[in-house]
Amino acid sequence: MQTSPVALSKAAKGSRLVILDIPEGRARSQLLRLGVTRGELVRCLERLPGGTVVILKHRQEIAIGVGLAAHILVAYAGTEK
């Protein structure tokens, strides 16, 4: 039950997301090392005012600034519980 693409910086707090696209560059390689890549499921733990997000991949929490999060495309994969 995927929805249309949305920027990660605009994803709702608490939602489960599937990663659709990450812009090319070092950040993409770095996220790949952390296990965050196209097709992976993550959870949006927090969306701070201004668009900085904290995502959860397995048990790893990762903070992503708006400059990057605005260019990462995700789709909702159903809200938890």
Shorter beta-carbon distance to other proteins: residue 20 or 37: 37
- Give the one residue of 19, 69, 73, 74 binding other proteins; rule: CB under 8 A: 69
When computed from its CA atoms, the radius of gyration of the chain, rounded to whole angstroms, is 11
From 46, 74, 76, 81, residue interacting with other proteins (rule: CB under 8 A): 46
CB 74 within 8 A of CB 14: no
Measured from the CB atom, the residue of 42 and 76 that comes closer to other proteins is: 42
Q: How far is the CB of 22 from other proteins (least distance, A)?
A: 11
Query: How far is it, in rounded angstroms, from Cα 55 to Cα 57?
Result: 7
Relative to beta strand 6-7, strand 53-57 is unpaired
